[in-house]
């Protein structure tokens, strides 16, 4: 696994990033860290009192039109770090009270991340990704990741192509999630915290209840009750420039229809309140100023 013939994600661009070539993600051959923070808005079983030690990486292997992190996912944004510097960032978050290390959109930088995870950290490592992952690349993480936190966005190929440029999303994500579950085994709790396992996030999209039902059907048919957890998200927030029905939030009726289907499938996990669809929950990715504040003058 390296940057020379990059096949880290399912797009398999095969570019030599060490020679300045750029693939779909447009990222270089060094990890780009856009933000680190104690993130209190992850699922309660992850964030706890101290928060997740989130490390947000620049770039992405998808390109969702509605991405809430578009300020950093749409291109190569962030400070370049090597494996040693990345390890220091992880250890600093732990010293500040992080209950885990939460790697957010990390796939495009795996050759830098894998060495940074050795030796094992004293808190769980969370691999927080869009679900569009190469099962072969994930194999390199075996024994290094405690909790996989993938999205499972689409069962509908047309929707996946239109919104994320990935018509093959569903079969690819299914294989990836099976590999994640193979590595971690069933969910392990320690008190009120998840210490090991797979938590599948599904973001309900406005006007797309049928897509959600098909996603939940697959999870229910593939895993035993409690083997994985499902986080049913209603935080879709119109980011501008989206046509109907994607120019609105999810309705209460839509959310309740999907939630009922999750119960019928025997799925366990987490739900969200209506207020989750609020731009106020999106982290501020503006660069810090010398006075420690963010944003403009």
Residue ranges of domains in the chain, CATH in brackets: 30-281 (3.20.20.70)
| pLDDT exceeds 90 at position 273 | no
pLDDT digits (tens, 9 = 90+) for 1-54: 899 999 999 999 999 999 999 999 999 999 999 999 999 989 999 988 899 999
Rounded distance between C-alpha atoms, residue 170 and residue 178, angstroms = 12
Looking at residue 267, what is its pLDDT?
A: 97
Q: Report, as an integer, the average pLDDT of 93-117.
A: 97
Angle at 22 between CA 157 and CA 68, to 5 degrees: 50
pLDDT digits (tens, 9 = 90+) for 127-175: 999 999 999 999 999 999 999 999 999 999 999 999 999 999 999 999 9
Q: Report, as an integer, the average pLDDT of 231-255.
A: 93
With tokens 């797979």, the residue in question is 198
pTM of the model: 0.92
pLDDT digits (tens, 9 = 90+) for 180-205: 999 999 999 999 999 999 999 999 99
Question: SS3 for 214?
Answer: helix
Looking at residue 1, what is its pLDDT?
A: 83
Mean pLDDT value across the chain: 92
* pLDDT > 70 in the chain, percent: 92
| pLDDT exceeds 60 at position 295 | no
| pLDDT exceeds 80 at position 230 | yes
Looking at residue 74, what is its pLDDT?
A: 82
Looking at residue 75, what is its pLDDT?
A: 78
| pLDDT exceeds 50 at position 289 | no
| pLDDT exceeds 60 at position 291 | no
Contacts of 110 (CB under 8 A, 6+ apart): 1, 8, 137, 140, 141
Helix, strand, coil shares, percent, the chain, to 5? 35, 20, 50
């Amino acid at each position: 696994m390296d940057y020379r013939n990059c096949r880290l994600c399912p797009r398999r661009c095969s570019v030599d990033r060490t020679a300045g070539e750029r693939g779909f993600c447009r990222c270089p051959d060094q990890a780009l860290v856009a933000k680190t923070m104690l993130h209190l808005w992850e699922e309660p079983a992850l964030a706890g009192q101290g928060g997740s030690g989130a490390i947000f990486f620049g770039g992405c292997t998808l390109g969702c039109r509605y991405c809430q992190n578009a300020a950093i996912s749409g291109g190569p944004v962030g400070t370049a770090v090597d494996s040693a510097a990345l390890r220091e960032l992880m250890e600093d978050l732990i010293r500040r009270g992080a209950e885990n290390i939460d790697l957010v959109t990390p796939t495009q930088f795996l050759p830098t991340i894998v060495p940074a995870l050795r030796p094992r950290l004293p808190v769980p490592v969370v691999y927080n990704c869009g679900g569009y992952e190469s099962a072969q690349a994930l194999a390199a993480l075996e024994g290094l990741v405690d909790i996989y936190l993938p999205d499972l966005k689409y069962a509908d190929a047309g929707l996946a192509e239109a919104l994320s440029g990935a018509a093959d999303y569903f079969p690819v994500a299914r294989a990836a999630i099976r590999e994640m579950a193979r590595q971690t085994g069933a969910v392990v709790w320690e008190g009120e915290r998840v210490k090991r396992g797979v938590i599948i996030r599904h973001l309900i999209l406005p006007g797309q209840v049928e897509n959600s039902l098909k996603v939940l059907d697959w999870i229910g048919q593939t895993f035993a009750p409690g083997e994985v957890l499902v986080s049913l998200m209603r935080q879709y927030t119109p980011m501008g420039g989206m046509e109907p029905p994607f120019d609105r939030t999810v309705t209460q009726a839509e959310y309740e229809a999907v939630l009922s289907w999750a119960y019928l499938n025997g799925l366990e996990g987490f739900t969200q309140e209506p207020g989750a669809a609020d731009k106020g929950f999106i982290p501020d990715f503006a660069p810090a100023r010398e006075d420690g504040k963010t944003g403009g003058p």
